[in-house]
Amino acid sequence: MNLGLFRHLVEASEPLAVDRIAEKTKAEPQLISRLLRYLAAIYAVEETGRGKYTANQTTRNLTEKVVEAGISHYFGLSAPQYQCLPDLLKKIGYKAPVDDANTAFHLAFRTTLDPFSWFAQNPAYLADFHAYHALRRQPDATWLSVYPVETETAGWPADRPLYVNVGGGIGHQCAQFKEKYPNLGGQVILQDLPHSVAEAFPTPGVVNMAHNMFEPQPVIGAKFYHLRAVFHNHPPHKVRMLLETIKAAMKPESVLLVDEMVLPEEKVNYMAASVDMTILAAFASMERTEAQWATLFEDVGLRLVRTYKYSPLTYESVMDVRLS
């Protein structure tokens, strides 16, 4: 993929010889020959004759941006953690990990930093992370497709904060919110750590604010506090800490929008189950059922009002959570 091999085959109008592919990729012909022989054996490319190759549907799929980002993300970041997970589980006595300072991520990358602090020192991995998570979601599969924003914001004062996207990365959610509701009054605010906010989109009407979500929330009494796939990146004790922090900033009319997978009680599909394994390895965290989410909210004095599912295949939903 780094050689652009798949893309060269897709862009060619006829099968390419090994020497021509080597010339295009600036790689040794013998290496290219052996790589293509293997790729043809697993049907990732098609061998049309001795030393000649062309693209097939798999090759074309491998040039899609979301696929390239996903392979880079999982091969570079997730796979090393999976390789270390058996050692971690043995070390902690085969219990569910709960210590986010002692995870398969730490073993894999030989670091004492948490993943997001480590990202700040390894921007290439951060770029793959953001690209994959942005590209893998279809534009219409968001909480905005199911949640009654206009009903909830009717009469909202223009001088009060409207929407705070906590842990919002480089601003995809804020950009989508402003695009769909450009005329709603009130501030739209992106919050994340400085290294993410530094790369944020310059979306008109969005305030980009560097903020550590575990510190007191500086925006008081917003209508919406939206956290998209944030809680599942933290172990249970930090999830409760974060809920308490946001709860302290909420007013009676505020809504905490928890945008996460909500697993069914049985027959979870492989995609959601694999994500659960990934976050177990990286963060000592977990995906949850609706009952588990409701109990978690109740424990900190919040209540789950309603769950709006917007992606049935992946169980992605937005939960409307309010003060008890």
Identify the active-site residue in 211, 232, 234, 237: 232
In the block, which residue shows the tokens 């919406």? Answer: 224
In the block, which residue shows the tokens 């062309």? Answer: 54
Grouping H, G, I as helix, E, B as strand and the rest as coil, residue 198 is coil
Cα-to-chain-centroid distance, residue 258: 14
Q: How many helices (H) and strands (E) does the chain have?
A: 15, 11
Write out the DSSP string of 224-292. Answer: EEEEES-GGGS-HHHHHHHHHHHHHH--TT-EEEEEEEEE-SS---HHHHHHHHHHHHHHS---EEHHH
Cα-to-chain-centroid distance, residue 10: 29
At 241, list the tokens: 């800490």
Q: Which segments within 63-203 are labelled E, that is strand?
A: 163-166, 188-192
At 166, list the tokens: 């906590």
Backbone dihedral angles phi then psi of residue 281, each to the nearest 5 degrees: -70, -40
Cα angle for residues 135, 137, 143 (degrees, 5° grid): 140
Instruction: Measure the CA–CA gap between 168 and 228, rounded to whole angstroms.
Output: 7
Grouping H, G, I as helix, E, B as strand and the rest as coil, residue 11 is helix
Instruction: Measure the CA–CA gap between 20 and 224, rounded to whole angstroms.
Output: 56
Backbone dihedral angles phi then psi of residue 256, each to the nearest 5 degrees: -90, 120
Catalytic status, residue 232: yes
| CA neighbor of 257 nearest in space, from 210, 310, 198, 199 | 310
Kindly list the catalytic residues: 232
